[in-house]
Amino acid sequence: MIRSLRRMLVVALTAVALVAPAQVATAAAPTKAQVLADWTQPTAASTAKWNAARLDRAPWASYGFDWSTDYCSSSPDNPLGFDFTLPCWHHDFGYRNYKDIGTFTANKDRLDKTFYADMKRKCATYSSVVQPACYSLAWTYYQAVVIFGSVEALNR
């Protein structure tokens, strides 16, 4: 009796599995704009995500990101010995890729603020004796991109 109940249960479950529509939840891949937005926020976590992707680009190849950079353009990459190369690269990444998808103007302010936040995080890694000079340079670089960044981006 138990054996026949077990068989009936197996048959019933198999029939239900075959007849019921498969509800497979598949998450759609994020769009290029969504990935850009995730990687260009003025937070340490956002910058860390971008940097991890920069170091391992293969999973992101299908998005066609422009990873090229001229670092700090015509300004020194290491003013007074403060290394702003990665903040400048992150900034270039945002400018070039938002320009590519046609939404640069709508995102420029956030990209510039992210650049400033990246530089301030870099300044925080230096001795407290030299941090004020680093923060002053970061503010100067930030003001330069706020004022001249649109012109520079249009020339690329």
Q: Domains in the chain, start-ordered, CATH in brackets?
A: 30-154 (1.20.90.10)
Give pLDDT, residue 68. 97
* Contact assessment for residue 34 and residue 58, using Cβ atoms and an 8 Å cutoff: no
List helix spans (H) across the chain. 2-19, 32-39, 44-55, 85-100, 104-123, 131-154
- For residues 57 and 119, give the distance between their C-alpha atoms in angstroms, rounded to a whole number: 23
At position 107, the amino acid (one-letter code) is: N
- Chunked in runs of 10, what are the mean pLDDT values of the chain (156 residues)? 57 52 68 98 98 98 97 91 97 97 98 98 98 98 93 57
Give pLDDT, residue 27. 80
Give pLDDT, residue 139. 98
* Contact assessment for residue 115 and residue 87, using Cβ atoms and an 8 Å cutoff: yes
The one catalytic residue among 46, 65, 89, 91: 91
90 is catalytic: no
Give pLDDT, residue 150. 77
Give pLDDT, residue 17. 52
Q: How many residues does the chain have?
A: 156
- For residues 82 and 126, give the distance between their C-alpha atoms in angstroms, rounded to a whole number: 8
Q: Is the pTM of this model over 0.85?
A: no
